[in-house]
Amino acid sequence: MTQITYVSTDDTRHTVDAPDGESLMRVALQHDIPGIVGECGGELTCGTCHVYVSDEWSDRVEPESEGERELLSMMDGVRPESRLACQIRVQHDMHGFTARISDHQ
Ligand code: FES
């Protein structure tokens, strides 16, 4: 298990234990984290798992795929640190990882 924190748009922090290999989107759903919907189940068609990953962590997670980049390019509220939580898998070296949930889903 790896400790992950989600920060809601109202700055509430939700810290959970996440199993390695699971996506950040699925972990959020399992813990009823508000703001992450994951409507398409991780198929890269909805964008309802939009999070911001700080520079501190961006090079510690898998790089975005072409499909992720493409979907993000069509969404509102996208910043350089935008990622889709369904495309990031929890890894053991992510202990303390923090993702801020975007209010643009
Ligand atoms: S859950 Fe649909 S794009 Fe991530």
| Domains of the chain, start order | 2-101 (3.10.20.30)
Contact 53, 99 (CB under 8 A): yes
Query: What separation in Å is there between the alpha carbon of 27 and the centre of ligand 1?
Result: 13
Quote the pLDDT of residue 26. 98
Pocket of ligand 1 (CB under 6 A): 25, 38-40, 42, 44-49, 84, 86
In this predicted structure, what is the pLDDT of residue 104?
A: 85
Whole-number Å distance, alpha carbon 11 to ligand 1 midpoint, is: 22
pLDDT attached to residue 105: 81
DSSP code at position 89:
B
d(CA 100, CA 66): 22
Mean residue pLDDT across the chain: 96
Q: Render pLDDT for 25-67 as a digit per residue (tens, 0 to 9).
A: 999 999 999 999 999 999 999 999 999 999 899 988 999 999 9
Tokens of 36: 């992450």
